[in-house]
Amino acid sequence: DYVSDSEDPDTALRWFITGENIVSISGSNVTGNLNIVFSTIEDMYGTDILFLFVVDSDGMAASTVFEVMITPVNDGPTIDQIDPLVVHFDDPYVYDFTYYVHDVDNTYDELTLNVDSANAPYCTVEGLRIVFTYPESFLGTNRTVIVTVTDPAGESSSTAVVVRVSDDHVPVQFSSI
């Protein structure tokens, strides 16, 4: 509805766009296709000033400038699935979740971890680390700990971590190689 040519029908026109940085454009330079498909680029926002050129069958072109604005959206944090852990009863076992937590909008310092209420008495959260300390009475059991990461906007993601309570001593690294 926004394009016309006195000599050519719409089926003889084509278009292309320049200036796109935060949006992806598809459908250009196909004669007869006057539909522009806009797609957002993951984790991009802002304003693009785009230049639209419409070309007729003689190669004559008309152009216009228009603005596309993508508003930021808070993407919630994610937490990867964690392989089962083995802990020795009564020995504190520190596990760093930093490598398994992701959030494109927030720094690690802005994220918080917590665990489900059934396991909270046996887990101490320190930033993105959890110290697991299970008593001897749990020896030989598997505990399913629901670990949740939350961003400042309240968006969250959870994963279930299976923790096996054992009497086998878990290897400990004393110094780096």
The pLDDT, as a whole number, for residue 42 is: 81
Collect all residues with Cβ–Cβ distance below 8 Å to 93 and sequence separation of at least 6. 85, 87, 131, 132, 133, 170
The pLDDT, as a whole number, for residue 62 is: 93
pTM for this entry: 0.67
Q: Is the pLDDT of residue 121 over 90?
A: yes
Which residue type does 95 have?
Y
Predicted confidence (pLDDT) per residue in 11-47, tens digit:
999 999 999 999 999 999 999 999 999 998 887 889 9
**C-alpha distances in angstroms, 88 versus 117, 140, 168?**
21, 10, 6
The pLDDT, as a whole number, for residue 177 is: 65
At residue 122 the predicted structure's pLDDT band, cuts being 50, 70 and 90, is very high
Which residue type does 177 have?
I
DSSP letter (8 states) at residue 106: S
Q: Is 87 exposed, middle or buried (0-12, 13-18, 19+ CB in 10 A)?
A: buried
How much of the chain is in helix, strand and coil states, percent to nearest 5?
10, 45, 50
Q: Is the pLDDT of residue 170 over 80?
A: no
Where do we find the tokens 């400038």?
A: 65
Predicted confidence (pLDDT) per residue in 54-111, tens digit:
999 999 999 999 999 998 888 899 999 999 999 999 999 999 999 999 998 899 999 9
Largest CA distance in the chain: 88
Q: Could you tell me whether strands 156-166 and 85-88 are parallel, antiparallel, or unpaired per DSSP bridges?
A: parallel
Predicted confidence (pLDDT) per residue in 145-168, tens digit:
999 999 999 999 999 999 999 999
Q: Is the pLDDT of residue 138 over 90?
A: yes
